[in-house]
C-alpha cells in the first residue's frame, strides 16, 4: 500500500488523510461505511470481557493475536503486596474481571502484560513504551484516551466494546471518514508552562464539544518544541474537546524516542521505517475542515474550575461568570465562586498519575517541586507511575525517595484515582487536584470535586495545601 507510487491525484493531503487512505480495505459508499484496517489493537480488562463473550457465542477466533496487546490497569490495586500473596483487589468483581482477561488472553494467544510483567501499566503508557505504537499506524482500544498514541503520528482512537469484538474478529472497523481540524499552537510558551497547560488552554478554547466528529492535528512551534511525553499529554486529552483523535506529525524527536524500543524495527529495517515515516506530514496546502490558532505566549499554568474539562483558566485568573444553568450547577458543586481565582482553594487530596501525566518526565516535574519540602498537614498525596517500567526508572533516579520523604504515597502503577474503580478514591466533598483528564462529577468517587492541573501545579498544591502557581513555590527555594 505505498500511496506514493499509486497516487495519480496530487491534491495536497493532511497527515490524517495519508494514514486513513493507507488503511482502507474497502472504501465507504453511501449505503455502507468503509473497512479500516487496524494495525494495533490494545485491550484492557474493563471493555473487553463482553467482546470476547461475543466471539465465543459466534464461534469466532481472534484474527491477529500478533496485532493485539493486552494489559490490566483500571481495576488493579496500586498497593504493594508480598510475593506469594494475591493482589489486594478492592472487590471480587475487580478480581474476576482481571482473571477473565487472563483467561481470554491465554485462550486466544494474546500477549498480556499482566502481574509479573515488566511492562504492566496504563494501556496508553505501555504501548509507546514498548515501541508498539509507531508512526503511521492505526491503533484502537476500548478506551477514549487512545488518542494518546497520536503523538507519534498514528491515527489512534477509542471504540466501544461491540467494536472491540469487531476488531478481534476481523482486524477491521466499519468507519466513515471523520472531519479534520488543525490546532496550531504558535510561538513559544513561557518558562515553566507544561504540555498539560497547553492542552487545557486548547480545550478551553474549543469547548467540550468543539472537536466532535473531528480528528485534530496539533501543529505549531509550541507543539514541535514538546518532548514525546508532552506530545502524548496533548493528544491524550483530544477526547475532552469531543475529538475522535489527535495527531502530531512525527519528526526527529519522535524517531529518537522510539529507536531501540522492543517492538520497533532494528538495523536496516529501522532506517527504512524512518524514511517512510518522514513522509507522514501534512502537505503544504492540505485542507482542514476547521483551523484554530492559539498564541502559546498567552498560556499560563492552568486549572479547571468546573465539572467539565473545558473550564480551564489560569490559576490566578478570576473564575468567569457562569454562562448557563449547567455552569452554575458546576460552580455550586465545586464550591467555588465566580469573580475569584481558583488559587487559594483548600485541597484535601492530590493525585499525580493517569495516562495524561504519569510518565517519567511528569514525575520529574512533580519531584522538582516536592524535593526538600513536605506535603502540607492533612493532605493525602498519591503518586502513581504509569507503568512498572516508569516506576523502575523513577526509582533509579531517586524520585521515589523525594516523594516518600515529602510524605506522599508512592504507589504501584495503574489508573488509580483517575477513574476510582480500584479502591483509590476521594471522599464525598473532598477537593482533589489531579493530573488526570476528567473532572466530571463523581469521577474520583461519589461527591468528589476534581481540579485538573499539570504535575507541577498538583505538586505545588500538595505542598502549599491550596491551589497555587508552581512558580510561587519555586522562587523561595531556588532563589
Partner 1 sequence: MPDPAANSEDDIRQIDSRTFVIDQEDIDTDQIIPARFLTTTSRDGLGKLAFHDWRYDGEGKPLEAVSLNSLDTAECRVLVAGRNFGCGSSREHAPWALHDFGFRAVISSEFADIFRSNSARNGLLPIMAPEAAHNWLLANPGVSIRIDLASQHVDLGNGPSFDFEIEPFAKHCLMEGTDPLGFLMSHSDAIDAYEADIA
Q: Take residue 268 and report the three cell numbers written for it.
A: 536496516
Q: Which does 354 bind (CB under 5 to 8 A by kind): partner 1, ligand SF4, none?
A: ligand SF4
> Using the rule CB under 6 A, which residue among 43, 122, 151, 258 binds ligand SF4?
122
Query: Does residue number 386 form part of the binding site for partner 1 (CB under 8 A)?
Result: no
> Using the rule CB under 8 A, which residue among 87, 135, 153, 242 binds partner 1?
242
Query: Does residue number 462 form part of the binding site for ligand SF4 (CB under 6 A)?
Result: no
Contact 114, 97 (CB under 8 A): no
CB of 190 to partner 1, least distance (A): 31
> Using the rule CB under 6 A, which residue among 319, 415, 452, 462 binds ligand SF4?
415
DSSP class of residue 328 equals H
Closer CB to ligand SF4, 145 or 149, in the complex: 145
Convert residues 171-190 into a mask of x (bound to partner 1 by CB under 8 A) and - (unbound).
Answer: xx-x-x-x------------
Burial of 397 (0-12, 13-18, 19+ CB in 10 A): middle
Residues 235, 248: Cα–Cα separation, whole Å: 8
Length of the chain: 479
Q: CA 235, 175, 206: angle at the middle one, nearest 5?
A: 35
Contact 128, 139 (CB under 8 A): no
Query: Does residue number 58 form part of the binding site for partner 1 (CB under 8 A)?
Result: yes
Residues 143, 46: Cα–Cα separation, whole Å: 9
Task: Map the footprint of partner 1 across residues 416-455, applying CB under 8 A.
Answer: 419-421, 425, 428, 438, 440-443, 446
Contact 94, 416 (CB under 8 A): no
Closer CB to partner 1, 177 or 364, in the complex: 177
Query: Does residue number 249 form part of the binding site for ligand SF4 (CB under 6 A)?
Result: no
CB of 48 to partner 1, least distance (A): 9
Strand 290-295 vs strand 179-186: parallel, antiparallel, or unpaired?
Answer: parallel
Task: Map the footprint of ligand SF4 across residues 424-443, applying CB under 6 A.
Answer: 436-437
DSSP class of residue 351 equals E
Query: Does residue number 460 form part of the binding site for ligand SF4 (CB under 6 A)?
Result: no
Locate cell 488509580: which residue? 416
Residues 153, 281: Cα–Cα separation, whole Å: 8
Query: Does residue number 27 form part of the binding site for partner 1 (CB under 8 A)?
Result: no
- 3-state DSSP call for residue 401? helix
Task: Map the footprint of partner 1 across residues 320-379, applying CB under 8 A.
Answer: 324-326, 329
Residues 469, 419: Cα–Cα separation, whole Å: 26
> Using the rule CB under 8 A, which residue among 15, 19, 35, 313 binds partner 1?
35
Closer CB to partner 1, 323 or 478, in the complex: 323
Query: Does residue number 463 form part of the binding site for ligand SF4 (CB under 6 A)?
Result: no
CB of 410 to ligand SF4, least distance (A): 17
Amino acid at each position: 500500500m505505498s500511496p506514493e507510487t499509486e497516487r495519480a491525484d496530487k491534491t495536497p493531503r493532511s497527515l490524517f488523510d495519508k494514514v486513513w487512505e493507507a488503511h482502507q480495505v474497502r472504501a465507504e459508499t453511501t449505503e455502507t461505511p468503509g473497512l479500516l484496517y487496524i494495525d494495533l489493537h490494545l485491550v484492557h480488562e474493563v471493555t473487553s470481557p463482553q467482546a470476547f463473550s461475543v466471539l465465543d457465542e459466534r464461534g469466532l477466533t481472534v484474527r491477529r493475536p500478533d496485532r493485539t496487546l493486552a494489559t490490566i490497569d483500571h481495576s488493579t490495586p496500586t498497593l504493594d503486596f508480598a510475593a506469594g500473596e494475591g493482589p489486594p483487589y478492592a472487590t471480587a468483581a475487580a478480581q474476576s474481571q482481571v482473571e477473565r482477561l487472563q483467561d481470554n488472553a491465554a485462550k486466544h494467544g494474546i500477549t498480556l502484560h499482566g502481574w509479573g510483567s515488566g511492562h504492566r501499566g496504563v494501556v496508553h503508557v505501555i504501548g509507546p513504551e514498548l515501541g508498539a505504537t509507531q508512526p503511521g499506524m492505526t491503533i484502537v482500544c476500548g478506551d477514549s484516551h487512545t488518542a494518546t498514541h497520536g503523538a507519534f503520528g498514528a491515527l489512534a482512537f477509542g471504540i466501544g466494546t461491540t467494536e472491540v469484538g469487531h476488531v478481534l474478529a476481523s482486524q477491521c472497523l466499519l468507519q466513515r471518514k471523520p472531519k479534520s481540524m488543525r490546532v496550531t499552537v504558535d510561538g513559544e510558551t513561557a518558562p515553566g508552562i507544561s504540555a498539560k497547560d497547553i492542552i487545557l488552554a486548547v480545550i478551553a478554547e474549543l469547548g467540550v464539544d468543539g472537536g466532535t466528529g473531528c480528528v485534530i492535528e496539533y501543529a505549531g512551534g509550541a507543539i514541535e518544541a514538546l518532548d514525546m511525553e508532552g506530545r502524548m499529554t496533548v493528544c491524550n486529552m483530544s477526547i475532552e474537546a469531543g475529538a475522535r483523535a489527535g495527531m502530531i506529525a512525527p519528526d526527529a524527536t519522535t524517531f529518537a524516542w522510539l529507536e531501540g524500543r522492543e517492538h520497533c524495527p532494528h538495523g536496516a529495517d529501522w532506517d527504512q521505517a524512518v524514511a517512510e515515516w518522514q513522509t507522514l506530514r501534512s502537505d503544504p496546502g492540505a485542507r482542514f475542515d476547521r483551523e484554530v490558532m492559539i498564541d502559546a505566549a498567552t498560556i499560563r499554568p492552568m486549572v479547571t474550575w468546573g465539572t467539565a474539562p473545558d473550564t480551564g483558566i489560569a490559576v490566578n485568573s478570576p473564575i468567569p461568570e457562569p454562562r448557563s444553568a449547567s455552569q452554575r450547577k458546576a460552580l455550586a458543586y465545586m464550591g467555588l465562586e465566580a469573580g475569584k481565582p481558583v488559587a487559594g482553594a483548600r485541597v484535601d487530596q492530590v493525585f499525580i498519575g493517569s495516562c495524561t501525566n504519569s510518565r517519567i518526565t511528569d514525575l520529574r516535574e512533580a519531584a522538582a517541586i516536592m524535593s526538600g519540602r513536605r506535603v502540607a498537614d492533612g493532605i493525602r498525596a498519591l503518586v502513581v507511575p504509569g507503568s512498572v517500567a516508569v516506576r523502575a526508572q523513577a526509582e533509579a533516579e531517586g524520585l521515589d525517595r523525594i516523594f516518600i520523604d515529602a510524605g506522599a504515597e508512592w504507589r504501584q502503577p495503574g489508573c488509580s484515582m483517575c477513574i476510582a474503580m480500584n479502591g483509590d478514591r476521594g471522599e464525598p466533598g473532598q477537593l482533589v487536584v489531579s493530573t488526570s483528564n476528567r473532572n466530571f462529577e463523581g469521577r474520583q468517587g461519589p461527591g468528589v470535586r476534581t481540579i485538573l492541573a499539570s504535575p507541577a501545579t498538583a505538586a505545588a498544591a500538595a505542598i502549599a495545601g491550596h491551589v497555587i502557581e508552581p512558580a510561587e513555590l519555586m522562587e523561595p527555594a531556588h532563589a
